[in-house]
Structures are given as structure tokens and as C-alpha cells.
A and B are shown apart, each in its own frame.
Chain A
């Protein structure tokens, strides 16, 4: 056991902090405010130019071949500065292409992904398939060397400023569940694909992505037909250590403290008691994040540690925000304050990226071997 980061890793953190100084005004982590997408795109390009979108990619694919600890440090500091979240493309998509893609697909996508020049969104969920992803209905019918795609995805984060959608779709019989799914890379500029906004409580948007006879080259299928479930499953595993950076919580707590100080209630013993509890829990989540990182570094699948971390972290984000709302007076309702914004934002966190219930079920099954 060794709990610390290496000296090289810590000096990388310093480099990251230096880099961030140029971007601290951008609230791209939450996409608060107008035009944050452009800003985030700029950040991704700048990261790509430094090779920081491919820190842990194998050298043979043009990556840095470094420990996942570097990615963790990068995205943890990005979260503290609220600048941006890790993009899907160079993370999940690139790593899935490395293990499941064809040589041609790697040639076509990896360079742009590494350089931050192309954006991906994840098209998994549908109106009638969320927790139960095997119920996906969006259909891809083979027609010569193309697929014809019909159906709709929803809750797709960032689709309105992405270039491609990583699409989980049905290529098997309607009731084939997880055995009849495939993954296609679909350019969002394909005729027959439309993206429309779904406004959310945090003032941001998710998207609906509709497919009406959209034609996609069969060469864009990743992995064998009807084996998309395996592709999606292993793709999930490679990004767990950066999915929910714990420094976001440390920052949330600092912002709450500032807010309570501004309200003049931070010395109240009841308030202090609540803050102490939250501070202990932030440390708990940081410990869980490092334990998870350790598993990822040693090449373990890490599904259970990732579930621990996300469960504890996302509910804590809510509890920090809720504390602000409960202790604050009507001032806490004024739009734009960190407290009220974080309340509306954190409520999304226990649903997006794997619901708390799904994670609890996973722990019960995988850690304890319990079955329904």
C-alpha cells in the first residue's frame, strides 16, 4: 500500500494548475452561462495540443503511456476550478476503439480524439430504456454496406455541440435484449439525425436525438454485430477514475462556507456542526476516490469501488447544497448564487452516469453475490 502521489505526479499537478490559470473564468464544468461550449472546446484543444487528452493511452496509439493517476489529477483539478469535465471522446470512445475497433477506425478517429478536435456524445438512454438499457429500441437495419437507423435517444448530454454520437442500437430481433445490440459511430451531421433540447432544472440542457432513416456506413460499427453490450460494458470500465472528480466536492464545500460567511451565520454552533459533518464526508469521498484510482491503476475492473465512490460522492454533493438551502434564508433562493445553483445541479448527479439504485444493485450482486 502506498497512499501518496509520486513526485512526478505532483509536479504534473503544478503544471495543470498553471495551465488552469488561463481558464478559471470559464464555468464549463457545469456549463453555467452562455457560450460555455465554445470555451470548453477551446480547453479541449489546448489539452490536446499538450497531449493531455491521451495521458494514459498506450504509446503505440500516440498516447503518453502514463499512469491513470495523471488523468485523475488533471480532471480533479479541472473540477476544482470548475473549468471542464472529461470529454467522452478521448476517454471512453478512444479506449473502446483501442480494444474493439478496426485498424481503419483507429486511423480515422484516434488522432483527432487525441488532439481534442472531435467531440462525442453517448447515445444509450431512450424514453423507455434508462436503468434497463437492454430495452433499447432504436433500430439499425442493415442495407448493403450501410445501416438505416430509426428511433430516438434522450437525455443525451452535449449532443448539441458534439460531432458524433456513440450509439447503442438494436440490430437483433426486437426482444433480443442485450444479445441484439450493436454500437455505431454516427456523425451528427448525417441526414435524418436531429438534435433538440430538453431543458433541465439546473438551467442547462440535455438533448433528444432522433433518427429518421439515417444512413450510417457499416464500417462505423464498433465490434461485431449484436455484441454491442460487451463493447459498452468494457467502455464503461475505463473511465471510472475520472467520472466524478472528488475535488468538485471540496470546491462545493468552500463555496458553501463563503456563502454562509456572507450571510453571517458561519459561527453559529449548529451551522458549524453541519459543516464539520460535511468536511468529514468530503474526506471520506476523497479516500474512496483514491481507492478506486488504485484499483484502476492495478488494472482491476473496479466496478464496485467506482459504485462506492459515486454513491457517496453524488449524495454528498446534494447534501452540501441542501445544507446551504436549509441554513440560508430567502437569500438562498436568489438565482445565480452558488448555493441555489448547486442545489438545482446536484439533484441531477444521482441519476446521470448510473443511478444510485443501479449502483446499489451492482454492489449487492458483485460484492455480496446476492441475487433477486
Chain B
């Protein structure tokens, strides 16, 4: 066992970090969100530099791809890293240009970047369906939760081999959880930094033990989520591990959101402050996985079905 990033992983994340510091981040994210736009430029750069190929590459793999997904989300990259870096390669499919969306549970509700999406992955029983989308037919849906949403209209579709739905759902759970982990960590870091800078009652806000304990508890949650996600990715997204990672992460993000906003005070409740760029998107991620309940049920099903 070795929980430290390898030199390869470290180099990869450094390179990706550098790329994202130029092509993503809060300002870029605000500007794109204003227009409800997907970041085609970022996607092209990620593709050019090989980050979309990590999953199946020789010197990297699914875990590295998952680490990359986490970092892209933390830096608010306005792309769809979960399908591009994890799900499509896991299914052995080509990665089209532009956003790819999914519906894990019945007909597609509003999905992120749906207005520009060209492909929909749909889990239907144990079948997986790939549908082409007509962006012109998509119906944008207003949302306050960071991502531009739209209902999509599938044009024609093809079915993949039986049993592939599990691959879609499991990797999507791992990927969305990796995104959430990256975003939770960023929200927490921002809050911790704020408590060091802010003075109340002639002391730093972070010097109050009541807050120290709460911040510490949040770090436990995020770390737990992080290792569950990495482990699931490392093991190839088995059903139970993926569901457990998602169940824990989707529960953790509720508490993390509440606490970071609370500890930040009024400033964090304004749209001028950056905290909401992560926390609102976190709620959207949970909704995308069918709320906190979906993964919890799946985790229990996977466990008890396996035991029987």
C-alpha cells in the first residue's frame, strides 16, 4: 500500500494545474456562466495535451484520470470531464467534441451543458444506450446552481452490449464524486484561509475553538470521500465501491456547504464572493446522481445482493 502520489502522478497533476491556471479558474468560470457556455477552448487544450487519454494510456490509468477529473472540477473547468476522461474510455467509445451528458435513471431530466451537448449516455436496465443529440432541439432550463442546464432531445441511438449500463453508472458515480471532492476541498480551503485573515473580537476568527472543531470535522469528511473515490477508481469502479463513494460524498457535500457558508458569514452569501461558485455546483452534482438517496440504495443493493 502506498498512499502518496507517485512521481508520475505528481508531474501529471502539476502539468494539469498549470494548464488550468491559464485556461480555467474563477474569472473564466464566471464569464462562461454568464453566457451559459461550455468551454470548448479548455476541452481542446485538454485533448491536445493528452489529458483525455489518461484512462487507457500506458503510463497512467483510471486512477490518474480520476485525479485529473477532481482537479478540473476544483478549478471550475466548464467542460464535462466525467464522460470525457472516465466513462467514454471505460465504455471503449470515442470522445466527441463538446459536452457529453448522461441519464443514469430513467428519461433525462435537465442536464449540464445540455444546450450544447451532442451525445447522451443513457442507462436503461442493464443496457447502455448512446444517443446523438440535436443541440438545436435542446430546451434550456434556467438554473441558479452554476451549470447551464437544458433538457435534451435524442435524435437516433444505438445500444451497447448487455451489461454496459453498470460501467456507465459506476464510472459516472466515481467521476461525479471526484468532482465533488475537488470542489469540497476548494471550498474548505477558502473558508480556512478566511478564518485566518478575519478578525473578530480582536482575535482571528479561526482562533475560536468552536470553529476549529467544525473545520476539522469537515476535513475528515472530505478526506474520507477522497480516499473512497480513489480506491473505487483504483479498483476499476466496482458497483459497491462506486456507490459507497458516491453515497458518502453526496452526503458530505450537504454538510460541507452548510458549514462553509456559516463560518464565512455574510460575505460568503453574496454573489461577489467566490464560495458559491463551488457550493452551488455541488448541489447540482448531487441532483445529477439522483440525490443522496440513489447511491445509498445502490450501495445497499450491491452489498446485500452480493451476500445473498
Contacts and interface: CB of A to CB of B under 8 A. Distances in A.
A363 to B, nearest CB: 13
B271 interface: yes
A333 B111 CA distance: 10
A182 interface: no
Interface stretch (A32-40, A73-81, A286-294, A336-344): A336-344
Contacts of A325: 283, 286-287, 291
B142 A351 contact: no
Interface residues of B, number: 37
A206 B266 CA distance: 10
Interface of A: 125, 128, 130-132, 135, 154-155, 198-201, 203, 206, 270, 318, 322, 325-336, 340, 343-344, 347-348, 350-352, 355-357, 360
B143 interface: yes
Interface string B231-244: 00000000000000
A333 B149 CA distance: 9
B270 A130 contact: no
B200 A132 contact: yes
B265 A351 contact: yes
B258 A318 contact: yes
B142 A334 contact: yes
B271 A333 contact: no
Contact of A330 (B142, B149, B269): B149
Given A199-B272, A206-B270, A347-B261, A335 B143 contact: yes
A326 B266 contact: no
Contact of A198 (B111, B149, B270, B293): B270
Given A206-B270, A325-B283, 15 more contacts: A135-B201, A198-B270, A200-B270, A203-B144, A328-B287, A329-B105, A329-B109, A330-B284, A333-B284, A334-B143, A335-B144, A350-B262, A351-B269, A355-B262, A355-B265
A330 B294 CA distance: 12
A343 B283 contact: yes
Contact of A333 (B145, B262, B276, B293): B145
A331 B3 CA distance: 39
B99 interface: no
Nearest to B103: A330
A206 B269 CA distance: 10
Given A199-B270, A318-B258, A333-B284, A326 B292 contact: yes
A125 B286 contact: no
B207 to A, nearest CB: 12
B210 interface: yes
B149 A270 contact: no
A132 B201 contact: yes
Interface string B247-261: 000000010001001
Contacts of B283: 325, 333, 343
A350 B272 CA distance: 19
B109 A330 contact: yes
A347 B286 contact: no
Contact of B110 (A125, A326, A334): A334
A270 B293 contact: yes
The 8 A-B pairs of least Cβ separation, nearest first, read A330-B109, A335-B142, A132-B200, A199-B271, A330-B287, A155-B266, A326-B292, A333-B143
Contacts of B290: 329
Interface string B83-111: 00000000000000000000001000111
B269 A347 contact: yes
Contact of B287 (A198, A332, A348): A332
Given A203-B144, A347-B261, A330 B288 contact: yes
Contacts of B284: 330, 333
A351 B259 CA distance: 12
B18 interface: no
A331 B199 CA distance: 41
A364 B261 CA distance: 23
A3 to B, nearest CB: 33
A360 B288 CA distance: 36
B145 A340 contact: yes
A356 to B, nearest CB: 7
A28 B83 CA distance: 43
Contacts of A330: 109-111, 149, 284, 287-288
Contacts of A355: 262, 265
Contacts of A356: 262
A75 B176 CA distance: 43
A209 to B, nearest CB: 14
B260 to A, nearest CB: 11
A327 B251 CA distance: 12
A68 B181 CA distance: 49
B276 A201 contact: yes
27 contacts: A125-B266, A130-B200, A130-B265, A155-B266, A200-B271, A201-B144, A201-B269, A201-B271, A206-B270, A322-B258, A327-B291, A327-B293, A329-B291, A330-B149, A331-B109, A332-B291, A333-B145, A333-B284, A334-B141, A334-B143, A334-B149, A335-B143, A335-B144, A340-B145, A350-B262, A352-B266, A357-B210
B291 A328 contact: yes
Contacts of B143: 333-335, 340
A184 to B, nearest CB: 23
Nearest to A270: B293
Contacts of A135: 200-202
B254 to A, nearest CB: 6
Interface string B134-160: 000000011111000100000000000
